[in-house]
């Protein structure tokens, strides 16, 4: 466990929060119209980038 980032608890909470937000946006995207769907997909992409940054700070398969 030496490979954990210094702000381990905060990043762990952020990961869970962002994952939940992506899940909610994906759920909302199912019923969205074209314009709203583009906005939702853009948000999902941004959140996914942040999620990947956090995931890369931790050891492999930490969040799985």
3-state SS record for the chain: CCCCCCCHHHHHHHHHHHHHHHHHHHHHHCCCCHHHHHHHHHHHHHHHHHHHHHHHHCCCCCCC
**pLDDT-based confidence at 60, cuts 50/70/90?**
confident
- Per-residue pLDDT of 15-57, as tens digits, reads 999 999 999 999 999 888 988 999 999 999 999 999 999 888 8
Rounded CA gap, 4 and 58, in Å? 6
The pLDDT, as a whole number, for residue 14 is 92
Band (1; pLDDT cuts 50, 70, 90): low
Q: Which residue has the higher pLDDT, 25 or 61?
A: 25
Whether 40 and 24 have beta carbons less than 8 Å apart is answered as: no
The pTM (predicted TM-score) of the whole model is: 0.80
Gap between the Cα atoms of 17 and 11, Å rounded: 10
């Amino acid at each position: 466990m030496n490979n954990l980032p210094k702000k381990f608890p905060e990043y762990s909470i952020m990961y869970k929060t962002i994952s939940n937000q992506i899940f909610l946006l994906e759920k909302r995207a199912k019923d969205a119209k074209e314009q709203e769907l583009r906005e939702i997909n853009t948000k999902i992409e941004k959140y996914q980038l942040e999620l990947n940054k956090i995931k890369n700070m931790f050891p492999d398969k930490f969040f799985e």
